[in-house]
């Protein structure tokens, strides 16, 4: 089997959809199990409204969406739909919080087992998006081995799937969408897909079947009738003037806009792994792909400009700091010519000033008399000390026992005048803080 060529003209998609930010590859999964030569119907879209390219190609030759996401579409032939009333409290903790998936799947198996032809452990379940507690919910069922096989096959060829959506879905009560009737297939094997509030039904498009559906639909304006070109004549026979042509690729683009995501329960962890792998692929594309070269250069230039700006700002601040230090040194040398080596200008100036005050007989703030005067004025609530000691600019007051006082408040008062107070056991140490 050989792959068909890509079409050159994009086909319009007439339904409203939000614009995607990146290219999207939509792969409609075939009914059979995957092999290297399995043929898939693929669609590339850049804006979620138009078909950029489409083809049927082998699994090993799938195109690369260039860093975009890959959406897998599950055909209606692989799906069954069931409306369930879940027990009260089943959804109160959310679908995928700790421990909830296992309990929720067990509840679903118990409720739906009698409706299934296969054993529940052979099937994959998915619940409608934004399911509300206390309201009936739609449950989608498909073969677990078939779905897992296709997801693994796509991952092995470097096309990990970001989302899994159904080809058709039942209407939700508050969706605001009309019921949908879609004719598909070939003139020799036509089918009709009927999507409504009651579910999704896939029926042979025989004259009898379509007559019954047409009678049920009647002239209702809330029904949207679409048809693939190959069976449009049959659709027009029963719904004249109301049929909208929609090709298979356009239907795939419409399906990709679904809010459903079948990656639930046991597929939730693998979906996270696929997302991480897709992000890794996107990062590698960002770093290596040619189309991102202008962005890489712009980012590099921006980083260099910022680094140069920070360096220039650092040089300016350093120059201002050096100028202030030089001014302090000049003041020190001009005021005290005897100082030849400047190590700590503020401290040297403080000591030199204190020496001048002592030599001239003027009391400085570092003298014992000044400290005692300040202590008496600022801490009148502290009793008289038993002994006084003055050593190396520190006034040490000794008490028989540690005096009771609000030391935080006392220290704050002393700091206002440039002193610090510390209680060391029974001794109170007062000293002048370093100042210019």
Q: What pLDDT is attached to residue 237?
A: 86
User: With bands split at pLDDT 50, 70 and 90, how would you rate the model's confidence at 12?
Assistant: very low
Which pLDDT does position 2 carry in this prediction? 33
Categorize the per-residue pLDDT at 167 as very low, low, confident or very high, splitting at 50, 70 and 90.
very high
**Percent of the chain clearing pLDDT 70 (strictly above):** 83
Return d(Cα 411, Cα 415) in angstroms, integer. 6
CA–CA distance, 432 with 414 (Å, rounded to integer): 9
> What's residue 3's pLDDT?
36
Helix (H) or strand (E) holding 247: none
* Residue 13: pLDDT over 50: no
Choice between 403 and 123, residue whose per-residue pLDDT is larger: 123
In this model, does residue 8 exceed pLDDT 50? no
Q: Measured between alpha carbons, how far is 66 from 20 in angstroms, rounded to an integer?
A: 14
Among the ranges given (14-18, 196-200, 242-246), the one the predictor scored with the smallest mean pLDDT: 14-18
Residue 6's pLDDT is what? 34
User: 293-339 pLDDT, tens per residue?
Assistant: 888 888 889 999 999 999 999 999 999 998 988 888 888 788 877 77
- The whole-number pLDDT of residue 102 equals 76
Q: What average pLDDT does this structure show over 169-197?
A: 85
| Tens-digit pLDDT profile for residues 78-96 | 999 998 888 877 776 544 4
The whole-chain average pLDDT of the chain stands at 79
8 Å CB contact between 226 and 182: yes
Whether pLDDT at 340 is above 80: no
Q: Which of 65-74, 215-224, 317-326 has the highest mean pLDDT?
A: 317-326
Using an 8 Å Cβ cutoff, are 136 and 112 in contact?
no
With the C-alpha atoms ordered 327, 328, 334, 339, is the resulting torsion angle positive or negative?
negative
The tens digit of pLDDT for each residue in 386-429 reads: 788 887 678 888 887 767 777 777 778 888 877 888 887 778 88
Q: What are the strands, taking DSSP E only, across 79-174?
A: 80-84, 123-127, 137-143, 163-166
Q: How many C-beta neighbours within 10 Å does residue 308 have?
A: 10
Residue 208, pLDDT > 50, answer yes
Q: How confident is the model at residue 282 (pLDDT cuts 50, 70, 90)?
A: low
In the prediction, which pLDDT does 43 show? 92
pLDDT at 17: 38
Q: What is the pLDDT of residue 4?
A: 37
Residue 277 has pLDDT above 60, yes or no: no
> Across residues 120-140, what is the average pLDDT?
86
pLDDT value of residue 7 = 35
DSSP per-residue codes, 36-77: TT-EEEEEEESSSSEE-EEEEEEGGGPPP-TT-EEEEEE-GG
Give the pLDDT confidence score for residue 66 in this predicted structure. Answer: 74
Judge whether 68 and 24 are in contact, CB under 8 Å: yes
User: Which helix or strand (DSSP H or E) is residue 101 part of?
Assistant: helix 100-112
**Residue 357 pLDDT > 50:** yes
Maximum Cα–Cα distance across the chain: 124
User: Is the pLDDT assigned to residue 259 strictly greater than 70?
Assistant: yes
């Amino acid at each position: 089997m050989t792959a068909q060529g890509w079409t050159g003209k994009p086909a319009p998609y007439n339904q409203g959809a939000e614009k995607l930010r990146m290219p999207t590859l939509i792969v409609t999964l075939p009914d059979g199990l995957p092999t290297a030569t399995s043929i898939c119907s693929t669609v590339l879209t850049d804006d979620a409204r138009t078909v950029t390219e489409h083809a049927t190609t082998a699994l090993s030759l799938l195109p690369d969406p260039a860093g975009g996401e890959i959406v897998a579409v599950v055909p209606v032939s692989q799906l069954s739909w069931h409306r369930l009333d879940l027990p009260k409290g089943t959804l109160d903790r959310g679908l995928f919080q700790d421990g909830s998936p296992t309990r929720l799947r067990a509840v679903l198996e118990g409720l739906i087992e009698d409706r299934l032809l296969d054993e529940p452990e052979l099937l994959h379940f998915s619940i409608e998006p934004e399911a509300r507690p206390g309201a009936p919910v739609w449950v989608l069922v498909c073969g677990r081995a078939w779905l897992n096989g296709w997801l693994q096959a796509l991952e092995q060829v470097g096309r990990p799937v970001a989302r899994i959506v159904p080809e058709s879905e039942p209407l939700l009560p508050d969706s605001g969408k009309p019921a949908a009737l879609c004719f598909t297939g070939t003139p020799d094997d036509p089918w009709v897909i009927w999507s409504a509030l009651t579910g999704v039904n896939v029926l042979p498009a025989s004259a009898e079947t379509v007559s019954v559906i047409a009678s049920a639909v009647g002239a209702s304006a809330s029904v949207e009738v679409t048809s693939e070109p190959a069976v449009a004549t049959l659709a027009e026979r029963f719904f004249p003037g109301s049929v909208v042509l929609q090709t298979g690729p356009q239907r795939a683009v419409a399906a990709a806009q679904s809010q459903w995501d079948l990656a639930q329960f046991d597929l939730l962890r693998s979906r996270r792994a696929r997302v991480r792998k897709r992000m890794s692929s996107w990062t590698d594309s960002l770093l290596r792909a040619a189309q991102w070269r202008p962005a890489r250069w712009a980012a590099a230039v921006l980083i260099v400009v910022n680094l140069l700006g920070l360096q220039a700002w650092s040089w300016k601040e350093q120059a201002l700091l050096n100028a202030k230090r030089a001014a302090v040194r000049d003041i020190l040398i001009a005021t005290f010519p005897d100082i030849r080596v400047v190590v700590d200008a503020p401290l040297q100036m403080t000591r030199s000033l204190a020496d001048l005050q002592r030599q001239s007989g003027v009391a400085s703030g570092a003298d014992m008399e000044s400290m005692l005067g300040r202590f008496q004025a600022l801490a009148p609530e502290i009793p008289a000390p038993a002994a006084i000691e003055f050593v190396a600019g520190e006034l040490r007051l000794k008490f028989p026992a540690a005096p009771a006082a609000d030391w935080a408040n006392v220290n704050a008062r002393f700091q206002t005048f440039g002193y610090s107070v510390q209680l060391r056991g029974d001794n109170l140490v007062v000293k002048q803080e370093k100042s210019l």
